[in-house]
Amino acid sequence: MKKLFLLAGALVVASQAGQASAKSLEDVLKEKGVITEEDYKEIVKSSPIKFKPGEGVNFTSSDGKFSSSIGASYQIRYTLMDLDAVNDSATKHAQDSSKFELKRIKLLLNGNAYSPDLTYKMSINFANIAGGTTSNGGLLEETWMNYKLLNEVQFRFGQDKVQFARQYITPSTAQQFVDQSVVTAAFAPGYDTGVTILGKVAGGLFNYSISGLGGVGQNTYRSTTDNAFAARLTIDPFGYVKYSEADLDSSAKPLWSLGSSYFRDTIYIGETNNLGFTKSTGWYGIGSPLMTAAQKFSSGEALDFNSFGVDTVFKWHGLSATGEYFFGQAEGQTSGHKLRAEGFYGQVGYFVIPQKVELAYRYSYLDPNRDIANDHWVENSIAASWYINNHNLKLQADYTNVHKQAAIASTSGIHPTDDQQVRFQAQILF
C-alpha cells in the first residue's frame, strides 16, 4: 500500500519537478501530506542513497557498517592590493596587483567502514596544482582513519591539521573573513602525519587531543627520531562550541569556550619541511633574517621549536567574539641562541539580518622577533558576509589596512608601509 501511495505522490508532484529538484521526493511527499511523519522516517532510514547540502551524496549499506559521502567545496576569490606609494626615488616599491584565483577547489570523501566506530576522511585540494606541479604541500590534505573506542578515547592515524590554534582548526569554509588572520597563518604548523589520541570528556565539557607527528609537515616525511608533539585542551562549560566562527545558529543561550595549544618540534637548518611557521610568511621565516649577530644560529644547527597558544570564543543571539594569543621560540641546540615571537588577534561579528547577513571586525598584531625594533605587522580588517544557505553557499568581502614597520616592509627596511587589501570570495559546498 505504501508503494501505491508513493507512486501516486510522485505523479502529483511530477508537474512541479523544477521546485522538487531542490528537495528529495520524500520531503515533497511529506509536505503535501501524501505520507505521514512515520512513513517519512522509515523511507529516509532505509534509503541507501542520501544527499544533504554541504555534506555531499552519501551511500550507506543496509546494515550501516559501511558508508561513504562524496562532496566538494569551491572558493573563488578576487584580491586587489593597493600598495603604499613611497616618495623616495631610491626606493623601488612593488607593483599594485589585481588577481582572480581558484583559492581552494576540494574533493571531499568521508564515511565509515566495517563499523560505525571506524571512520575515515580524505580531502584533495586541486588548487594546489600549478603549471603541472604541486604547491602548498601537495594535493592530499586531511587523510586519516579514526577509531572510536569510547567518546572519551579515540585513535586517529594519518595526516590531519595539527591541533594548534582554534582558527586554523576551524575549516576555511566556516570563517567570518575571506581568510584566516595573518597571525594564525604565522604560527600554525599546518598539516602533518602521525597518530593522535583524542576525545570528549564529561559529555563534551572537556575536549582534548595529544599527537605524535612526523615533524616536517604536509606530505613530507623524515627518517630521524626528531619527531614533533602537539597537545590541545578546550573547556566548554555551557555546551559544545562548534568550530565555526559566526553564530549561525543564533544561540539561545550563551556559549563560551576556552582553549590552549602546545607544539614542540626539532628542525635542522636547511632541512626540507612544509611547516607553516617556517615559510616566508611564518614567524620564523620573517623573524630569522632579522636576527642580530648575537642571535644567529650556526649552519646546519638543530633548532628546538616550542609554540604556545590560548584562545577563547563567545556566542549568543548572533553575536560572536573570538581571540587568540600565540608565543613561539626557536633555540639552537649548539649555540643556545634564541628567536622569540608573539602575536594575537581579536575579532567580533554580528548578524544584522539574523542568520543571513553578518558584519565583522578584526585586529591582528604580529611581532616576529621580540629582540629587535620596527618589525611589527598590524592589520585592521572589516568584513561583510551573506549566508545564502549557511556556509554551503555564501558571498564574502573584506577590506584590510596592512601596516608593516620598516624592518619587514617591502621597502627593504627604509620605510614602513600601509597597504590596502580588498577581497571578494564566492563559496559553495555540496
With residue 40 as reference, give the H or E element that holds it.
Answer: helix 37-46
Beta-carbon contacts of residue 135 (< 8 Å; ≥ 6 apart): 128, 129
Is it the case that residue 93 has pLDDT exceeding 90? Answer: no
pLDDT per residue as tens digits for the range 237-274: 999 999 999 999 999 999 999 999 999 999 999 888 99
Q: What is the pLDDT of residues 18-33, one digit of tens each?
A: 333 445 666 776 677 7
Q: How high is the pLDDT of residue 40?
A: 64
Q: What is the DSSP letter of 369?
A: -
- For residues 235 and 113, give the distance between their C-alpha atoms in angstroms, rounded to a whole number: 31
Which one has a higher pLDDT value, 50 or 238?
238
189-205 tens-digit pLDDT: 999 999 999 999 998 89
Average pLDDT over residues 5-18: 39
Contact (Cβ atoms closer than 8 angstroms) between residue 376 and residue 366: yes
Domain 48-429 sits in CATH 3.50.50.60: no
* pLDDT attached to residue 61: 87
What is the pLDDT at residue 94? Answer: 65
Q: Is 79 helix (H, G, I), strand (E, B) or coil?
A: strand
DSSP one-letter code for 224: S
Mean pLDDT, to the nearest integer, of 224-234? 94
- The answer to whether 423 touches 77, Cβ cutoff 8 Å, is yes
Instruction: Locate CATH 2.40.160.10 in the chain.
Output: 48-429
In percent, how much of the chain has pLDDT > 70?
Answer: 88
Cα 343-348-352 angle, rounded to 5 deg: 160
pLDDT confidence of residue 345:
98
Is 257 buried (19+), middle (13-18) or exposed (0-12) by CB count in 10 A?
A: buried
For residue 220, the 8-state DSSP code is -
State in Å, rounded, how far the first CA of the chain is from the last one: 35
| C-alpha grid cell, residue 328 | 613561539
Instruction: Write the pLDDT tens digit of every residue in 131-183.
Output: 777 888 889 999 999 999 999 999 999 999 999 999 999 999 999 999 999 99
Q: Give the integer Cα–Cα distance in Å for 172 and 425.
A: 12
CA atoms of 401 and 83, how far apart (whole Å) = 10
The three-state secondary structure class of 355 is: coil
pLDDT tens digits, one per residue of 288-332:
999 998 889 998 899 999 999 999 999 999 999 999 999 999 999
Reported as type and span, the H/E element at residue 45 is: helix 37-46
The burial of 293, by beta-carbon neighbours within 10 Å (0-12 exposed, 13-18 middle, 19 or more buried), is given as exposed
pLDDT value at position 400? 98
Q: Cα separation of 307 and 329, whole Å?
A: 6
pLDDT at 410: 82
| Position 6 confidence tier, pLDDT thresholds 50, 70, 90 | very low
* pLDDT at residue 8 greater than cutoff 80: no
Q: What is the mean predicted confidence (pLDDT) over 361-367? A: 98
Residue labelled with grid coordinates 621560540: 329
